[in-house]
Amino acid sequence: MSSSNRNKKLTTNFFDFVGPSDLAFVFGDQTGKITATLEKMAVKTVSIQPFSNYFGVLSRQFTPESGVVLVHEDVGAFHAEFYHNGIYEKHILPYSSNLTADETQEYVIITTLDELIERYGLPAFCHISGDGFEPDLMKGLNNPIKTVAFTFYSYSSEKTTEILRRLLHIGDYEFNWKKSADGKFLSKNWLSARDLHQSMSSYGKSVFSGEIYARVKQHYDSI
């Protein structure tokens, strides 16, 4: 599939959840494709990227005049600020908080989704590519966002379950899913968490990844 076709499909999907002047959070968009798509839709986009090399990629694509806000921070379960000289894990307390900075270390801020909401407002849409740390990001969210999209991996179903439980704890959500970011939803109807698990389990033990979309249920007053 050509890049233009992929972007067209991606835009069509996003139009179902967010529109011009809406606010969106995007975490972990390494290439800037998702951020660029939302920018073209005139969505107010806050793109969060913790890694310096990928943040540089985004900085070259999106100037302050573009309307995209770039945040060079990480997102996790709690707020922390520290220096590190290697790989760190967001789900444990920072082990290097007492180190003196030198040229081999990088200053890191870990914020939370709730802190970002206080800073920028409540988004209508939040897209998360967390490289397996999606559950930690969700622990820092207590405000229900209308639509949340996050990456899942079939070999870590326990993490998917943890995310679904967290979302259901903070809001009345229903779900749908794709086997790839650019694919179509695999259910014609929005599903409960239980039905989502059943739908995903129908693929057996095959290894795959994709995206789960969670949206707050739409309730209508009876006539």
The token pair that represents 214 in the structure block: 């969670």
The model's pLDDT over 162-220, given as tens digits with 9 standing for 90+, comes to 999 999 999 999 999 998 766 789 999 999 999 999 998 887 777 888 999 999 997 65
Residue 88 vs residue 199, higher pLDDT: 199
pTM of this structure:
0.85
* pLDDT computed for residue 18 by the predictor: 94
pLDDT digits (tens, 9 = 90+) for 16-58: 899 999 999 999 999 999 999 999 999 999 999 988 889 999 9
- The first and second tokens of residue 130, run together, are 């967390």
* Dist. CA 59–CA 87, nearest whole Å: 23
Q: How far apart are the first and last CA of the chain?
A: 46
Share of the chain above pLDDT 70, in %: 82
Predicted local distance difference test score (pLDDT) of residue 89:
57
Residue 113 CA to residue 118 CA, distance in Å, equals 9
> What homologous superfamily is domain 3-77+112-216 in, according to CATH?
Vaccinia Virus protein VP39 (3.40.50.150)
Separation CA 79–CA 105 (nearest Å) = 19
Domain ranges of the chain: 3-77+112-216
Angle at 115 between CA 114 and CA 117, to 5 degrees: 65
